[in-house]
Chains A and B, each alone.
Chain A
Amino acid sequence: MEFRTQTLEAISPVVMVVASPEAEAICQSQNGLTVTDLLRPYGFFHHLSVPVRTVGEHSYRIKELRLRFYEASAIYQPAPKVAEDHLCAVLSNAATDVSHAPDLLAALKKGEVPDALPWFKHYREEYMRMLRFSEHETFDHPVACLLVLSASEPNVVQAAEEMFQTMTLPPALRDSSSQATLLRHHVLLADDRPQPATSPDEKLPEGKLAEMKEGLGDAACSLVRINSGDKDKRSGLAGLWHSQIRSPVEGGGAGEPASKPAMPEQGYGAALSVSDVDGLKRSLEDFAVRALIPHLEMRVRNLSQQVALTRKGFKNQIKTLLWRNRSATSAAILSSATSNGADVPATPLRTPRATTTGVFSGLSGSQAQLRQLADTAFLVQDFQTAASTLRTLAVDYRSEGLWHSYASVQELLGLASFMIGASMQEVMTHFKEAFHRFSPQERDPSRDGIRYATRSMLLLAQYASLHGQWSEAHQGLMRAHLQEEDGRAAVLLEQAALCLLHKQPPNLRRFSFHFVLAGLRYNSCNLRNLGRHAYRQVVWLYEGRHWAFIEEHLHDVLGKQSKAAGDLHGAVRHFLAMLPCPRSSPSWQSFYLRQFLDAATQLAANSPEELGPLDLPLPAVNIRNPQVFYDNQTCHANGAARAVPAAYWRRLESLLLPGGDAGQNWLDSGSKTNLASLHNEVCVAGEAVTVAVQLSNPLGIPLVISRLSILAQLQQPEEQEGADGSILAEEVEVTLAAGEAREVRLQLRPLVPGTLTLRGITWTLSDIARGERLFKLKAASGRRATRDQSRQAKLVFKVIPSAPLLQVELLGLPRTVAEGALVEGQLRLSSRGGSVSGIRMLSAEPDLLLDPSAQPDGVHEASAAAARDQTAQAESTASIGLPQANVPCKGQAFMSSWGPDFCVDGQSGPCSWPMRFHPRQPGRCLLHLLWYFEPRAGEDLRFRMLRMVHEVEVLPSLCCQAQLIPAPDDLQSYLLRLQVDSRQEAESTQLEELVCRSPGWKLEPLASAASPSLSDPAASAHSPPSSANSSTEVHGAHSSLLQQSPDCSIAQLQQPLPAKLQALLYFRLHPPLHPTPDQSKPDLGQQADAAARFHLQGQQMRHAKAQAVFEKQQAGQPKSKHKPQQDPVGAEQKQHASGSTPPAAAAAAIAPDPSQRWAGGAPDLSLHWHLSSQHLHGCHHLYKCWPKGEAGVQMLLKGPAQVQHDFAAQPLCRVRLQLSLRNFLSGDVTAEATFGAAASDAARASWSTPGPASSDLPACHSHVWSGRKRAHIDTLPSGAINHKTTEVLLSSEGMHNLQDYQVKVKDGLLLISGTRGLNDAFPDFTGKRQQLRQERQEFNFHREIRLPADASTASGHVHAKVVEGVLEVTVDKVWGPQASDRVDVQF
């Protein structure tokens, strides 16, 4: 509706209706309408063309006119409190049913935002109605009086006069002057119903009308006939009155009586016919055109003339000025009297007639005439006159400070300005000025004007919104709501919010805030339904935007209101949304959880079917990335096996499968399809499918989660549909602590073949609320999309019929074991679901030793016999069918095979084999075992793979270091120094025996000196070995050579080694005299002990590794790019096999020795030990013990250490000496020995050594070499020994120090020179231990020196250089009490 129409409807002439009781009875009994209601729909006249001339020279035409009919008794404004109660009731009625309210989200999406909410329109109309009939506005005052009489009245003229005299006048007309201006009109209401019996004296209505016209005037009377229709038939006119009938205010007023007849069953106006309505319409139109409009026209003229008389001319202006002053004074007096509580005169001053506030102007005097003139001109649609009059009046009121009257004038002036086509800005300025002046000021805190101020803003909002000025409308409503009470403020806020939706672009965020404010206001005045409606409209706007407090507030309010309203489902939904509140304190989180659970409990008690699975946000579930583990052709024995990268397993599988040797890249992977077929989404019926899901608790309180299981669906083939219990899902209980995140593994077993779909997970929170989340794998775009689609597909499995599965148990395998221990355990094989055969096992580590060829324990007799028979047959035919144990194969793996025909039956129980475990490296030992077996039943799987990983923590036990040095007294044998460090924390280790496993080698303890010495490694770390050992010696033990065999040589020790101590063991090693068979492939019988087999295994691995390194070096290829961390096999390859040799040294040590020192290679040793508390035996292996450093040409001058001679009988003593030289170099050398004075003095001095301290003989130098003074050895082949015999003549007794001999060795570039005294000869190892240490000192001193000929090097203690082919050694730093006592030369 246009604003113009609304204005004309709101400000139109008011006709006061006074009906006789008979007339009311005629109307109400048949139609359910009062006379006033009957007339109301026909108060609108269009298609008029009535010429009117008011104050101007020119006339205009009224084309449409509206009349407002009110009962005379209801034409007054109700008291403010009554009006407020009525408006609250309007809102309460609206709140009873908000279902018809539009969904703003849907409307917004459609682009059809409503202009107003349904209750706003009604509320606005009622609000405007409550403010009608104010005293300071005359456009609501009646301009005509319609006296309605019944045609059955016997004397209508007299009755009309009586009625007019006795009628109750509205308050505005109680002034006699106002009453005189009232237009009087009479309506004779005739009941057209068939009358039962009429007396002949009674006149017809037409007769009475004539009588009335004769008595009251022709134009002032009319006849209206009603009730000519059939009451039983619906006339179709009932809709006319629905919009016209207002609900009465309590006590009456505002244009409606206190009570109204109820609507009859047939509807309003049931007895009215079309002719009745037409007659009524014609009568009212005649009244309006012939009587009312001329009356108003005349009244405007009269008022205009009166105003002109009182306002124009100098005299009148003076009067007006004086009157204004007096008026202002009076208003001030009244205002002060009111505020002081003084009695206000019952009859106030006539001019002006002030209201109690003293701000409104009365309706008398010149200003009242102006106001009446303006209002009447507005009613007669002379808007120019109205506007000009109002402007004049506004100036008057403004100058007098009558602000409410001024505001009222501004309000009407705004409407008049609009009607005369003023600018929008001007119109809105008038309304804003009216609002401003109506609003309570600081000096006038009364709130009387607020209602009118709000009305001004409502008019402004309506005007602005109808003209597209939504911002102005919004601002006006927002200004109005600030000073209003809650209910009205909420309505204004909602309307203001809707204005924001009409803006372009829509201000959604401010709209939602206004709605929330409106909801709060509604809740404050107990209009819960409306408040809930307001909140609901905006929840969607905040959801998912992470404004935590806002969402929490909305859901909190909505949840509580829903619960109070009995909507438990809604309460659960809103309380549920509040649960994830990590920013709240734990106490609030606990409260929210309890609140939700209470609501859920109530809902479950009332209607369990409504409490279905909820989308619970607690706990937080990572639905984007569930990990699914399942077995098909590839099975996993434990979780650790799944943790190993699949590529590693595939590499092992390629060694077991025929044609599965995948290449390094896709180009040379010939049998890719075979391997790929192993990893399809296929699972086996009866076997578990495990889903690992990440759960996390975002709250600060613990969460109890029960019945956590997988949500899955198994679609069976058509012929098997209908079977129940096809899925067995495991239910888990979990308690998540505050802030805890955990991966939970859930299992389910499809029991029958079909298609299995994993949908999500379901759980119960605190044993009350059932929740579920469906998996939604992460979506991606672009190139990754295909990959993610395949991930989504991984939640769908094809379930194939069940197949037998091999079950492997490693019994006796400890979780923690000492390094080098020999653990005996048991391998137990069993089968589930059928028989399996063709069992093979591939191990990537050499630490586990199986023996499939042994007789299994507990094997079924029949199958054992069959296995024996088949084994015998296989022996006769081919060796491939034989059981094999730990056969090395490619990729540093070891394979054990049970033979093709060995069968493990699922019904006969498990079979056991002995198993040995021997970890050789401390740290975390992972045993990767891959089992291959062939099910004997089932067609879908020809073979299956079982992956198994066992983790054992290996603790360090002993650290062995061997040092091999050539024996100084014997050019054939070596001395072995074995240093054993105990790394046990508290336990003493019993060293049992040392075994040399190299064939031909002889191990011999150094007689009684072989007893070990113990020392604290920490204390001896920075001290010389000899002195430290001597000071920390604990005890010795007897050691003897117990066994010598061709294959190995054993030295028994039986020596306890306390924890954290060190033992030093000395042995003499005799190398084999003749070449021994190749050790790379020794033949160990089945009865060989486990230690020997592990030793051999390690030997083979070292050999293979050395071979690989050598081949790589030969080929000039770079090193492998595999990182050890990524490849366990590679890591194992990198680890050195010996417990004491670092990897680099081991690689160098096992390299082919160019010197070919020993025909069979360096010796291998095993040190056996025993831990008594754990009943644990173990051994450490030492491979390829090379002498430290390179040996050159070694010499030895042998002779008797003590000679008895009778110088009296024979003046000269002849002593026979033998000089031996052995060439340890790879090539031939030339040597020359010089005795006597020819030897270099410098050389002699540098090699001088003091004699034994215990000698009591005097030193003597009188000796003479006899025979040849120079012996030349042309060729000393590599490894050969040359002996030269010489004699020395002694002429006196004493200690002869034979130092004047020299041996020069020349081998091309190298020239090695050395001298040695006679008493330097290495004594027998039969002395005391003190002597042993001395010999060791000397031994260290006399090590061979080999230097490049073209270099000069210096070490820390000794400067050595080659001068003219002779080695010169200068000792510049010595250690010990005397400079010549000891020199420790290290190269």
Chain B
Amino acid sequence: MTAPIYEVRNISKKYGAVTALDDVTMQLYPGEVVGLVGDNGAGKSTLVKCLSGVHQPTSGTILLEGQERHWKSPHEALEQGIETLYQDSGLAPHLSVAANVFLGREETVPGILGKMGFLAQKKMDVEAHQELDRVGIAVPQSNRSVSQLSGGQRQAVAIGRAVAWAKKVIILDEPTNHLGARQAGEVLQIIKTAREQGLGVIFISHTLPHVMEVTDRIVVLRLGKVVKDAPTSEFTVETLLGTITGLITD
């Protein structure tokens, strides 16, 4: 088996007297989708924030491709190829699809105007279209404003954006929330496309059938600790639920 692409070893996170994460260890391999599940308050959000560079763990180490990392900001993690789609952070609705895809990574025209920050808009429109297409999202017009899209379409663009930019790891926090069955199915399809491209995917969700459908392995958090880390094939929806709620223990 290859080496993990992203890994946390024995990390803990304390907020004052409260321990949100307690000695958590997990690995993510390239071309793998890991489901991260747990009840509310189990520590999923805290773990995601540590993985994406928003928070620094109180103790423990984070390794990207075997190298120890101390993220000072989400921007730093982003630059190293870790894309995070936060729950509800979404897109800028007033901007076009292309502007959202390239947000924070705008391409400028060549020459002095480019140095002043003037944008190569047509180029970005074309490239956004191609990139979304590559990850399985067909956008007829990438210069349309996101506010004109439906909720499902927006989520597709948001995930497409994350997948298109992710070089190594993609973290998706509740990407199928508020989506209808057909749209959720399409989102899961995009996740599978990302896996085929060799990305490591962390998929956080409350919707257990989605987790069962798309993941290769499931990490269950409970009260800040990893209580189970096993291939998806070892779970059924019932045993997974039992593990999350603490009714089933090994």
Is this pair of chains taken from one and the same complex? no
